[in-house]
Amino acid sequence: MLCTACSNVDLGTKEVLKSDHGDLKLDSIKILGKLYKRDEMTNVTTMIKLLSQRKLHQNPYSPIRMLSLRIRDYFHRNYRNRYRSPLHSFVDYLEPVVTVDQNFDSLLVPADHPSRKKGDTYYVNSDLVMRAHTSAHQKDLIRSGLDHFLCLGDVYRRDEIDRSHYPCFHQMEGVSLFTDEDLYLTCQQSEVVELFEKGERTSEKQEQHTYDCAKIIQHHLKFVLEGLAKELFGQAGADYKVGWAFGLGIERLAMILYHIPDIRLFWTRNPEFLEQFQTNDYNAPIIYKVKMTFLQNFPMIRHGNFTT
């Protein structure tokens, strides 16, 4: 199936107009300079490989990067450790090829969940996928000793293309873990808060957590995200720890913040778009202005194959 996208989305090579069928006959597939063995599950196409090379989240003049740095700065400014250093580590360099275990099993995704199917996920082979979410790195980052971190990256899902959907987009994962001592400090009273119990799962908590613990974590996450929303848009391996996690779709937020009407515009190389973000001040209050010449050259055309 061929997907549609704007004529100005230039992936930087004539390969985008070629079929992937010849490439599929090879025994291996190269992604970001690394060779991986193909098998019956492989469905990563040339288009997806090219998108992975763009790394918009590391481009200082991309609205993706600009918004991500604003979110990072919010956390670094408002949440600090006892030494007054930023509490959350910022991780934006992890490659998008991850194991099936990282992408699904580590997050307790059931074996029969629809998201595991080839129709929803880009498989490098039976053991590896293009990450579908930055949550794929949670387990490894926690095992590395990080209790508080922000993880930014490009993620991939097989989806129909329209103004708000694209097979590659960007997420920022936020995670904070707390010991019982950390939680005590958040309580206004000096009463002891039990974190764990052998209870029952309800709509408000998991079976291993107490109700009081769940409510404190819920309040903390709500406070953090409300503060972040106000900042951006104005008034308009730790079995003894608990915590919260969130995932932000950077494109959706950037479309609101910068008034970008179509998600495909993030990938264009057209100077009429790019020149509006050519600033070293990522806090600049930019409002994207659609120019008539760009609008006239923005037809919906078939320009590449995202599926095999």
Which domains does the chain possess? Answer: 3-304 (3.30.930.10)
Q: What is the tens place of the pLDDT at every residue in 152-192?
A: 999 999 988 989 999 999 999 998 887 766 665 555 544 54
Reply yes or no on whether the pLDDT at 16 is more than 60: no
Reply yes or no on whether the pLDDT at 219 is more than 90: no
Q: What is the mean pLDDT of the chain?
A: 79
Give burial (CB, 10 Å; 0-12/13-18/19+) of 18: middle
Angle at Cα 94 formed by Cα 88 and Cα 98, nearest 5°?
120
Angstrom distances, CA of residue 212 to CA of 91, 226, 283: 31, 21, 38
Reply yes or no on whether the pLDDT at 269 is more than 80: yes
Q: What is the distance of C-alpha 193 from the center of its chain?
A: 33
Q: What is the tens place of the pLDDT at every residue in 41-75?
A: 999 999 999 999 999 999 999 999 999 999 999 99
pLDDT score of 301 = 34
pLDDT score of 291 = 76
